Amino acid sequence: MERQGEFQGKVALVTGAGSGIGRATAIALAGAGAAVGLLSHTRAEIDSAAAEINADGGRALPLVADVSDDDAMRAATASLSEAFGGLDVVVANAGINGVWAPIEELAPEAFDRTIAVNLRGTYLTLHHAVPHLKRRGGAVVIVSSINGNRTFTSPGATAYSATKAAQVAMTKQLALELGPHRIRVNAVCPGKIDTQIDDNTDRRAVDRTAIPAEFPEGDIPLTGGAPGSSAEVAEVILFLARARHVTGTAVFVDGGQGLLR
């Protein structure tokens, strides 16, 4: 039986939907009634997530694409809109940590790869989604980070932090640009969350870039040091997707972690 919920009749696109925050958000949106396009470059992960949603009475469409590929993102967005009749919510979540290294050792190709996925990927997601959103208004939520916005002590995270700061700048710029089209644009800035993003982090010469700062034992005040969950970030994303008078805002989901750094 088809689910009923506050997002009934809405269509959502979630990038990086195969695991972590993206998967939790896609499942939460589907649980609230939305038809969801799950986008990732990894077919097996989104097939698994889509199967879980469909088996639970939701509607999900796997979309295989690299967010940094213009043609692939154009095709994926068009396929989702055609399959479900439009687009109302976009969660630009796909991202990598990339290489964290001293600036003199951060190779141009490593810097460019982080920019391509995190920043170009966000741009292309919105570039191709916004024409669909303009037809009936909607909401965009960009998944940024405390890095580059509250926190600057992650050793060697220059490229990553730059992309995350830029995402918040995009959020504010586009909130004004798209407001007249009834499109709201907000961001979430997670701290330490139980995702697999560390699996794609290449840390180099950490001892040479580490900041000599001491943090209290349990540096996430709200949890005594335990990381937050992907589902807790998804809760905030859903709030922003439905909060009709909130736009241009970055919400920190870090249990107070960023305030210590």
**Crossing angle (nearest 10°) for helices 158-178 and 121-133:** 20
Structural domain contains residue 1? no
123 is catalytic: no
Give the pLDDT of residue 64. Answer: 98
Structural domain contains residue 105? yes
Structural domain contains residue 2? no
How does DSSP classify residue 228? Answer: B
Number of folded domains in the chain?
Answer: 1
Structural domain contains residue 236? yes
Q: Are 135 and 178 in contact (CB under 8 A)?
A: no
Average pLDDT of the chain is 91
Q: pLDDT-based confidence at 203, cuts 50/70/90?
A: low
At 213-235, the pLDDT tens digits run 555 555 777 777 788 999 999 99
Structure pTM? 0.90
Catalytic one among 7, 84, 100, 160? 160
Structural domain contains residue 210? yes
Higher pLDDT, 23 or 259: 23
Buried b (16+ CB within 10 A) or exposed e, 217-248: eebbeeeeeebbebebbbebbbebbeeeeebb
- Full residue range of the structural domain in which residue 73 is found: 11-260
Look at residue 212 and tell me whether its pLDDT is greater than 70: no
Structural domain contains residue 6? no
* CATH code, 93: 3.40.50.720
Look at residue 199 and tell me whether its pLDDT is greater than 60: no
Structural domain contains residue 74? yes
Structural domain contains residue 52? yes
